[in-house]
Structure 1
Amino acid sequence: MTPAMSKILARYDNLHLHPQIEHLREDGTVVFVDGTCVVADAVVYCTGYTYSYPFLDTDGKVTVDDNRVGPLFNHVFPPALAPSLSFVGIPAMVVVPLFNEVQARWVAQVLSGRRALPSPEEMARAAEEYNRGREAAGVAKRRTHDILDLEYCDDYGERNCGFPRLEAWKKELMWSSYLTMCDNLETFRDDYHDSDLMVSNHDDGKPPAKWKKVCVVGAGMAGLAAARELRREGHAVTVLEQASDVGGQWLYDPRTDDPLGASPAPVRVHSSMYASLRLISPREAMGFTDFPFLPVDGAGGGGRDPRRFPGHREVLLYLKDFCDAFGLMDAVRLSLNTRVLRVAMAPPQCRAPAVAGGERKWVVRSVRVGERDDTGVQEEVFDAVVVATGHYSQPSVPTIKGMEAWRRRQLHSHSYRLPEPFRDEVVVMVGCGDSGKDIALDLISVAKEVHLTAKSTEEATTPAMSKLLAKYANLHLRPRVEHLCEDGTVVFVDGSRVVADTVMYCTGYVYSFPFLDTDGVVTVDDNRVGPLFEHVFPPALAPSLSFVGVPRKVPAPWFFEAQGKWVAQVLSGRRTLPPVEEMLRAVDEHYRARAAAGVPVKYTHELGGIEPQKYIEFGEKYCGFPRYEDWKREMIVSTISRRDDDDMETFRDRVDDDSDHVRLCLKSWHCSSPARHQASLAVSAADGHPPPPRLAQTAKAIAADAL
């Protein structure tokens, strides 16, 4: 008998508490097991319910025995019939509709291929172990699906589908309500004894108390991914972008700036995109998790590029579709044509006094592009800043003997746009990476000669390169440049030479944050941005300062999406970071491990080829984000193999080398993606950001084509 029941019995004379009923008599007498009796007019059975599926025929694979539905893996999937049959809503004593939402999301992700289930044998074994564990704890069989464990529910959602954990204040609110109910059954719904935590987070239609005012610098792929995740977490987001539109590198700009990009002034033309650029990864491997990069040919496309490896304009249009689908143009303060001049820590008087020492804030100074005086300069204070300016804007220019005295044309690939200006020229290209080889192919048809240089001609002579050299008489592979002569001669380290009209440096890019003032806490040394915990948080300034988009050779935008989600959850308090000392120690250990593996400092942030497992597991580890699917990585590796070992000119348009596994997953992707695409638009509309009619019509047409 609880205190609440005692109170009610004392208050109401006509309310009585009896033991179990022994039997009922025809004259209306109800006899209880203690021998007492009462003549009753009615008997009401408040004895709960049983699970019942009279319509379901599974040939005995799913049964209901003593109110246990089974066997079910995690109360959802019958092992022998998964994933095509599933149950949502079976567990009792859980937070609804939250737990139902978790289960539905898991089912949806499994059906779409984003999540994989264990083998039927493993699922059956897990279900049996769960049942045995419950029985050992004294739980009756009929209570198999009664949970009453908030931590179990939290772990369930996080583990199975990356669902956020229930906020601590909501858990406290629920337990407080339960305890109040145990005290007074009549008034517990109206008696509030909420703690300060609950009061400050009470749902009054405003963002939760832990929302932050966040500035995202950059509206490229990384910045947009971060902005979407921050908005989803309830933060107030401002995105500052120096260009006239979203897209970052994918916003093609026919203009060029300093030919070498070596000017001490910040680069004014951000994009390094050239006109002929196409993706080197298939569209199926790119795209946001809930907004697939689908071909839209014939679906109101307006000149869209439906190829698996589309050109750069298609990526830009996809990013703009993403903004439209999730209301980013309206939901965040997107300030275009705005150059960030300085980001610095705010003085103490700008900080909140509630936290010991005050929470760190940041002053962001910006100016509208084109303003020539200080009247257009704006300053604003933010709780946090996310730097998402990319890493393909500030050229890395080597130092070569004689280059300052060389009077002919020199430029970095950052300033390359079209092949025509190089017609009938002899072009020496310093660097044999992706951009060097791609631009060389672009120039072959117009240039008199193209000399592609490599640090190691032996390593550069892949089967695909050998084919090209045999096919084009005007293409040559050379060793490194030794020096440049004033008369236009380029001398190579093997003593060979050529008189050139142009030297183009395809030597990559360096990280550059000229606007960022951290009092030396964050530096760029030999192209290592540091110290950064997991390439995101500078320990001494975390979480108020973070970087999204620093790692290279990772699947984009998937990896940026995971980083953005982690940042958003840390800022809201949903996730916590390790202590500063622990983060610094982890960074130092990472540096030492890379050095021991022979990785130069300048490649600190290149993860793909060296640490693929690190990026595959990153999101799952830090923010409950789904792992990068193995079949997508296999597809990327296969694509690179076709490019290097077969044919650099045609590798994008040949898919005959895809494995059976990849083909099967591709088929599933193309079948399930339209539904996910439409579902994303529906969710966005429910959030108050309906997509424009053009996008909605396109989604419907894509779905119809898939059917």
Structure 2
Amino acid sequence: MNEVTRSRVAVIGLGVAGITSIKNLVEQGFVNVTGFERNGHIGGLWQYHDDPTQTTALKTTRTNGSKHYSAFQDFPWPDDAPHYPSADQVADYIRSYAKHFELEQYFRLSTTVLSLSPADRSGSIHDEDDDAARASSSRGDSPCRWELKYRDGSGEHEEIFDKVLVTNGPWGKAWVPFLPGQESFKGKIIHAQAYKGPELYKGKKVIVAGLGNSGADIAVSLVGRHQKYTSRIDQEHEWCLRRFQGRQSRPVDHQITRSRWIAGARLNELFPSFMTWLGSKATEILFKKTNPKYRDEWGFFPAPPLSAVPPAIQDDLIDCMADGKIHNLFGIKRFTPSGVITPSTRDGTEQLETNGDVIILATGYSADLSWCHDEASPFLDNAPEWDALTDEDHKVPYPSLYMNLFSPKSPESLAFIGPCRGFAPIEFTNFDLSSQAIGQVWKGAFPLPTLKERIEWCDDNYRANVLAGKRYRNVRPTMPPLKLERWLNDVIGNEVNERFGWGIQAWRFWWKERKLYQLIMNGINTPFVYRLWDGREGSRKKWAGARRAIYHANGLELDEKI
């Protein structure tokens, strides 16, 4: 039995990230994997739950990405699925994926993780003369196993794991601000996390604070039942996009081809200020063209760049605002006993008092890792520049992770998916590639740099995120998306970089497979491309259906011409 097969691996959280991670780890040889989930079901936030302390989709929620984007790399949606599936359909899709790949045997449901802490700093599963152990030591790594405490139906327990992958997502902890006068408000204040539908608010005047995806969906769900208002509490300009754009009503993400994404990412790295302006201007033009009822006095523009603050996706918000069913406010200044005070115009020269019975704070989330011991937590204890970007009541800790995934001090045994943003706007692809890369690093197939180099990278990335945050606040740090995607491809060894670079493999692919090349670069940007080739030995498995799935997503069959 080698190191991989005898490693005990814990995956914490069984949403899309956790389910995908278990599948990819098992596929790469980690057969002793245990997935922990506090609920009695899998699916994460896509599975509706009436617990007000859990973040879940609403019954009316649909995906923001089309089914061709929001898909697993080797398990496409059924043909009869709508372009934008409902939350229930996504939950069913996740369960079907788990059943198809026989993943249920690795799940421990209704099990709450209580703590994660180092079990030892010398109890590595490597033998003393193991090559991997010597390589780890030479890089400055601190080999560590982890003690996981959890509670299930039979009580509290402790287990030791050689490797731990935390996948409980970035939406576990509600971000609740405190505004002047809030304690004097005589109505009810809840966070969007606790909102499960409009039924409890019959006859109430509701103010929804925040215009992200949650705020927009909540406001629209209340239409026809109650009087409601929307407000952007952070006072930054925001916007909403429709799911379908253009004369042919194509899904909006079908226009984000791989060639356009690469070109935009490269130009953004070279000319960030210009591309920020250009991207925002182009999206504003598209927005106004597809939302003819929009009024300039609503003050959505200028909006932050898409790379910093992704827009909300909502099809009905602008129409509801134009019809007077939802009233726009310009950011809460303070509370009164009966409501809130907001500017009456974007410039804030005049103020308006709006009465309300219920205030719903759709003010965002952060990862909940309060159960992590200090040595396991990715959050920095001292991040004054990051903390200075917001006031004392809005603090969101900064996760310092090498390449946005690995504990810089214990990368061979501890990784996180979720606290940092991925390279793609849709999380399915981020989770799939990230977990494949983690598996390759843990197998020893792709050595990481030394501890000193990893710390230096984390410091540089911290400074870059602070600089970006001074322009537009973002609670999830990131890195240049194209660099991250290329790095993940290199770690995984899936041959994507080689087939789309300037080497002999790329030219050979372009010459011999021009139809397929054109579909991948200029057609619908599906995730199936990452499973198209065999890749490095011991990496993720090639999917035999990838080629056909790419053609099919673009409305073609293999023998048809473009």
Distance in 1, matches of 2:366 and 2:79, equals: 35
Aligned length: 416
Alignment check: 8 A CA contact 2:210 2:230 kept: no
Q: Does 1:549 align with 2:418?
A: yes
Closer, same or farther: CA 387–583 of 1 in aligned 2, 3 Å: same
Distance in 1, matches of 2:236 and 2:104, equals: 48
| Counterpart position of 2:231 | 452
Alignment check: 8 A CA contact 1:384 1:543 kept: yes
| Counterpart position of 1:311 | 86
| Counterpart position of 1:338 | 111
The correspondence for 2:523, drawn from 649, 665, 673, is: 665
The correspondence for 1:612, drawn from 459, 472, 481, is: 481
Distance in 1, matches of 2:237 and 2:121, equals: 58
| Counterpart position of 1:203 | none
Closer, same or farther: CA 662–216 of 1 in aligned 2, 3 Å: closer
Cα-Cα RMSD: 3.6
Q: What's the CA shift for 1:528? A: 4.3
Q: Does 1:276 align with 2:60?
A: yes
| Counterpart position of 1:398 | 177
Q: Which structure exhibits the higher relative contact order, with contacts defined as CA atoms closer than 8 Å and separated by 6 or more residues? A: 2
| Counterpart position of 1:363 | 147
| Counterpart position of 2:431 | 560
Distance in 1, matches of 2:144 and 2:340, equals: 53
| Counterpart position of 2:369 | 513
What percent identity do the matched residue pairs reach? 22
Distance in 1, matches of 2:121 and 2:480, equals: 41
Q: Does 1:241 align with 2:112?
A: no
Q: What's the CA shift for 1:451? A: 3.4
Alignment check: 8 A CA contact 1:591 1:604 kept: no
Instruction: Give TM-score scaled by structure 1 length.
Output: 0.53
Q: What's the CA shift for 1:625? A: 3.9
SS of residue matched to 1:533: coil
Closer, same or farther: CA 435–586 of 1 in aligned 2, 3 Å: same
Closer, same or farther: CA 604–624 of 1 in aligned 2, 3 Å: farther
Distance in 2, matches of 1:563 and 1:418, equals: 34
| Counterpart position of 2:453 | 582
Deviation per residue, 1:181-230 (Å, 9 max, x gap): xxxxxxxxxxxxxxxxxxxxxxxxx5566752111111111111111111
Deviation larger for 383-392 or 613-622: 613-622
The correspondence for 2:103, drawn from 314, 321, 328, is: 328
Distance in 1, matches of 2:477 and 2:203, equals: 37
SS of residue matched to 1:321: helix
Structure 2: unaligned runs, 5 residues or longer: 241-286, 296-317, 344-349, 384-394, 498-517, 535-540, 543-552
Q: What's the CA shift for 1:410? A: 1.0
Alignment check: 8 A CA contact 1:511 1:529 kept: no
Deviation per residue, 1:221-259 (Å, 9 max, x gap): 1111111111112111111110101111111112324xx
Question: Which AA in structure 1 matches 2:523?
Answer: C
Distance in 2, matches of 1:436 and 1:499, equals: 18
| Counterpart position of 2:271 | none
The correspondence for 2:465, drawn from 594, 599, 617, is: 594
Distance in 2, matches of 1:349 and 1:551, equals: 29
Q: What's the CA shift for 1:459? A: 5.2
Q: What's the CA shift for 1:598? A: 4.6
Q: What's the CA shift for 1:427? A: 1.2
Q: What's the CA shift for 1:423? A: 2.6
Question: Which AA in structure 2 matches 1:515?
Answer: W
Distance in 2, matches of 1:626 and 1:404, equals: 57
Distance in 2, matches of 1:315 and 1:429, equals: 26
Distance in 2, matches of 1:594 and 1:457, equals: 18
Distance in 2, matches of 1:591 and 1:367, equals: 35
> Which residues in structure 2 correspond to 1:100-119 (within 5 Å)?
none
Closer, same or farther: CA 519–664 of 1 in aligned 2, 3 Å: closer
Question: Which AA in structure 2 matches 1:377?
Answer: E
> Which residues in structure 2 correspond to 1:35-434 (within 5 Å)?
206=1, 211-235=6-30, 236-257=32-53, 269=54, 271-292=55-76, 294-297=77-80, 306-330=81-105, 332=106, 334-347=107-120, 350-352=123-125, 354=128, 355=133, 359-368=143-152, 376-434=155-213
Alignment check: 8 A CA contact 2:232 2:330 kept: yes
Distance in 1, matches of 2:238 and 2:456, equals: 36
Deviation per residue, 1:608-644 (Å, 9 max, x gap): xx8332444242132224659xxxxxxxxxxxxxxxx
Structure 1: unaligned runs, 5 residues or longer: 1-205, 258-268, 298-305, 629-659, 680-685, 688-701
Structure with higher Rg: it is 1
Deviation per residue, 1:501-541 (Å, 9 max, x gap): 11000110012202111337632564344321011112112
Alignment check: 8 A CA contact 1:272 1:392 kept: no
Distance in 2, matches of 1:575 and 1:276, equals: 43
Distance in 2, matches of 1:531 and 1:542, equals: 12
Deviation larger for 245-254 or 348-357: 348-357
Closer, same or farther: CA 522–416 of 1 in aligned 2, 3 Å: same
The correspondence for 1:485, drawn from 336, 353, 357, is: 336
Q: What's the CA shift for 1:324? A: 1.1
The correspondence for 2:379, drawn from 515, 523, 538, is: 523
Alignment check: 8 A CA contact 1:454 1:478 kept: no
Distance in 2, matches of 1:278 and 1:231, equals: 30
Closer, same or farther: CA 529–231 of 1 in aligned 2, 3 Å: farther
Question: Which AA in structure 2 matches 1:478?
Answer: L
| Counterpart position of 1:112 | none
Closer, same or farther: CA 507–457 of 1 in aligned 2, 3 Å: closer
Q: What's the CA shift for 1:337? A: 0.2
Closer, same or farther: CA 662–595 of 1 in aligned 2, 3 Å: same
Question: Which AA in structure 2 matches 1:318?
Answer: Y
Closer, same or farther: CA 224–347 of 1 in aligned 2, 3 Å: same
Alignment check: 8 A CA contact 1:457 1:478 kept: no
Question: Which AA in structure 1 matches 2:158?
Answer: E
Instruction: Give TM-score scaled by structure 2 length.
Output: 0.66
Alignment check: 8 A CA contact 2:46 2:88 kept: yes
Question: Which AA in structure 2 matches 1:307?
Answer: P
Question: Which AA in structure 1 matches 2:148?
Answer: V
Question: Which AA in structure 2 matches 1:484?
Answer: F
Question: Which AA in structure 2 matches 1:498?
Answer: T
Q: What's the CA shift for 1:363? A: 0.7
| Counterpart position of 1:476 | 327
Question: Which AA in structure 1 matches 2:15?
Answer: G
Q: What's the CA shift for 1:319? A: 0.9
| Counterpart position of 1:569 | 440
Q: What's the CA shift for 1:458? A: 6.0
